[in-house]
């Protein structure tokens, strides 16, 4: 099995909606973003699948050390061999890979976040950093595009947090800031015990509104000339905004079950978004030609 095949297998097995956005990219970019995603899955699995915190920290340190070796020309893991083929081509800095690992380790350090300021650092490390590297892989011309990628990463992670409140609580983790729980008269135990109430739904509505604000910020920062290049991110935005809308329309049932989109519907959303962005790009090029 080649490193690229390993990464492909890792990405496809994850069942994540991110995989659908990769399908509409040129092969070179698809292999690059798949390798990046496989790296994220590897280090995330270290935390989620380990029952021993000490062992998890040792494994994360191994990833830190061997990523430094990878940048020195000595990759060890199949994912690192795949990354070694792209880090120079797309100017992906070591510091951002280490930020992702630091973000994963925050799940070992923090079971709670006092305010959104602390949570936003976590979201930046585990999501926005990935978005920033993805933007480099996809290519851009406008200097605002990295800011788009940053805000989109926050939006996607906030959507994940809202969707996974129940699952995270089962692991003892609460990502909703504690000062906001207090503001809405919701207790830690209300989340840990999956209690549904009017106060809980008001709290969840506030979280959904914040996520939507970050989607709006991201879209506002993406220039027309970079939209088509960044279409994989736009596909993810469409899928996750639809997931967010589903949660809102169903009145926030995340404490009683897992909300997800049908895989076939998700694939259709990805295909339809790719089609619309291609048509929009062609129209943009025609407009530029006529001016």
Q: DSSP class of residue 67?
A: H
Task: Give the integer Cα–Cα distance in Å for 30 and 35.
Answer: 9
Helix (H, G, I), strand (E, B) or coil at 280: helix
pLDDT at residue 15, as a whole number: 63
14 vs 120: which has the higher pLDDT: 120
Q: Where in the chain is the domain with CATH 1.10.600.10?
A: 110-291
Structure token digits, residue 261: 């989109």
- Confidence tier at 135 by pLDDT (50, 70, 90): very high
188: left (phi over 0), alpha (psi -120 to 50) or beta: alpha
Q: Return the CATH class of domain 110-291.
A: mainly alpha
| Mean pLDDT taken over the chain | 94
Whether 115 and 150 have beta carbons less than 8 Å apart is answered as no
pLDDT at residue 290, as a whole number: 80
Q: Does residue 120 surpass a pLDDT of 70?
A: yes
pLDDT at residue 48, as a whole number: 84
Whether 83 and 75 have beta carbons less than 8 Å apart is answered as yes
- Confidence tier at 24 by pLDDT (50, 70, 90): confident
- Confidence tier at 243 by pLDDT (50, 70, 90): very high
pTM, two decimal places: 0.94
Structure token digits, residue 245: 């809308």
In sequence order, the 6+-apart residues with CB closer than 8 A to the CB of 44 are 104, 126
The angle subtended at Cα 158 by Cα 152 and Cα 164, nearest 5°, is 135
Q: Does residue 226 surpass a pLDDT of 70?
A: yes
């Amino acid at each position: 099995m080649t490193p690229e095949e390993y990464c492909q297998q890792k990405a496809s097995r994850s069942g994540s909606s991110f995989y659908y956005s990769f399908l509409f990219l040129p092969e070179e970019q698809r292999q690059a973003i798949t390798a990046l995603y496989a790296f994220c899955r590897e280090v995330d699995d270290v935390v989620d699948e380990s029952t021993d915190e000490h062992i998890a920290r040792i494994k994360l340190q191994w990833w830190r050390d061997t990523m430094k070796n990878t940048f020195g020309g000595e990759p060890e893991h199949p994912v690192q061999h795949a990354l070694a083929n792209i880090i120079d081509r797309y100017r992906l800095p070591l510091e951002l890979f280490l930020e992702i690992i630091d973000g994963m380790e925050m799940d070992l350090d923090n079971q709670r976040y006092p305010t959104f300021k602390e949570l936003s650092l976590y979201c930046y490390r585990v999501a926005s950093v990935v978005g920033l590297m993805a933007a480099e892989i996809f290519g851009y011309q406008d200097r605002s595009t990295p800011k788009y990628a940053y805000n989109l990463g926050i939006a996607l992670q906030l959507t994940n947090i809202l969707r996974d409140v129940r699952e995270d609580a089962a692991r003892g983790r609460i990502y909703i800031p504690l000062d906001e729980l207090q503001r809405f008269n919701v207790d830690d135990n209300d989340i840990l015990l999956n209690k549904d109430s009017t106060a809980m739904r008001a709290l969840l509505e506030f979280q959904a509104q914040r996520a939507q604000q970050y989607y709006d910020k991201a879209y506002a920062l993406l220039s027309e000339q970079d939209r088509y290049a960044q279409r994989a991110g736009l596909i993810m935005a469409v899928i996750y905004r639809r997931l967010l809308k589903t949660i809102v329309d169903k009145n926030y049932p995340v404490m009683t079950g897992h909300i997800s989109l049908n895989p076939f519907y998700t694939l259709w959303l990805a295909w339809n978004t790719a089609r619309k962005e291609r048509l929009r790009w062609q129209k943009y090029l025609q407009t530029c030609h006529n001016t």
